[in-house]
Amino acid sequence: MAMFQTKQCPFKEMNWVPILRSEDLQEGVSQVVQVQGVAMLVIRYRRKLYAVYNRCPHAGAELSCGTIKYYRIGGPVVTCPGHQWEISLRNGIASFRGRVKGRMKPVYLKEESGHIYMALS
């Protein structure tokens, strides 16, 4: 009898679609890409890839018009240009003045063979 059960990696079961060539997303730069008709904000920041939906969950402002900040403890956030909600690029948590207001659905990216891929579940 096995002492531990091994769970299958969820990433293997996802459908990965190419969204950008790696060379098209430089460090510190964000880009809006359409994935199945949905605008996604893709960012390469501090050598890591992040993606969020390009609409603020509060009032729908385009996050691509916002600014990116880095907090030593919480990591990178994109600030909504409308009402200054901050959306964590690490976990999608949306906050305003330090209070959690909601969470965006996570978006998974990987980079291999010169392309950036997004997972569609």
pLDDT of residue 14: 84
- What pLDDT does 12 receive? 61
Q: For the segment 44-79, what is each residue's pLDDT rounded down to a tens digit? A: 999 999 999 999 999 999 999 999 999 988 899 999
Residue (of 64, 59, 66, 55) closest to 32 by Cα position: 64
Q: Which residues of the chain have pLDDT under 50?
A: 1-9
pLDDT > 90 in the chain, percent: 81
The confidence score (pLDDT) of residue 71 equals 92
The pLDDT of residue 3 is 42
- CATH class, domain 13-120, is mainly beta
pLDDT at 8: 44
What is the Cα–Cα distance from 65 to 60, expressed in whole angstroms?
12
